[in-house]
Amino acid sequence: MLSTRSLAALTLGSLATTLAVDAAAAHRDITSETFRSAQAISYQLGSKRAIGYFVRVDGACQVTLMIAEAVDPDLAQPTSAARLNLSMMPGQSAALASEEGESMELTCGSGAETVLVKLASAERS
């Protein structure tokens, strides 16, 4: 069985690959999506990109997101990212917004089994 640290390292490694390969997916027109533990979460919020995952820890959703400038890796070197860690009990929510008006709201699901991500933009508000 993988430890939480090993799982996190493995997930972050695949998330880095996702950033380089899945640039088109960031422009998907989805208003909400449900994620299970260790599934890659990847969204572009204006000029920023949020990539991460969540795991269930002690009955809570432990969310880890890396926030960085959204760049095309073929045209520019990626800049350093900031890591956001948050723990939410089932039913709790947290939001992240960009200067450009796009935002994402994360809500911990029942039993901390899922995280629901809802997207909003200035045009939809």
By CB atoms closer than 10 A (0-12, 13-18, 19+), residue 39 is: middle
Dihedral, 19, 112, 36, 117 alpha carbons, nearest 10: -60
pLDDT at 105 over 90: yes
Amino acid identity of 28?
Answer: R
- Residue 104 gets which letter from DSSP? E
Q: 49 with 97: CB under 8 angstroms?
A: no
**Mean of the per-residue pLDDT values for the chain?**
81
Cα–Cα distance for residue pair 83/60, rounded to 1 Å: 19
Residue 118: which of 102, 109, 105 has the closest Cα?
Answer: 105
Q: 41 with 117: CB under 8 angstroms?
A: yes
Order of strands across the sheet with 93-97?
32-36, 114-120, 103-108, 93-97
What is the pTM assigned to this prediction?
0.71
Chosen CATH of 4-120 out of 2.60.40, 2.60.98, 1.10.3470, 2.60.120:
2.60.98
pLDDT in tens, 11-65: 444 444 444 444 444 444 558 999 999 999 999 998 999 999 999 999 999 999 9
Q: 66 with 16: CB under 8 angstroms?
A: no
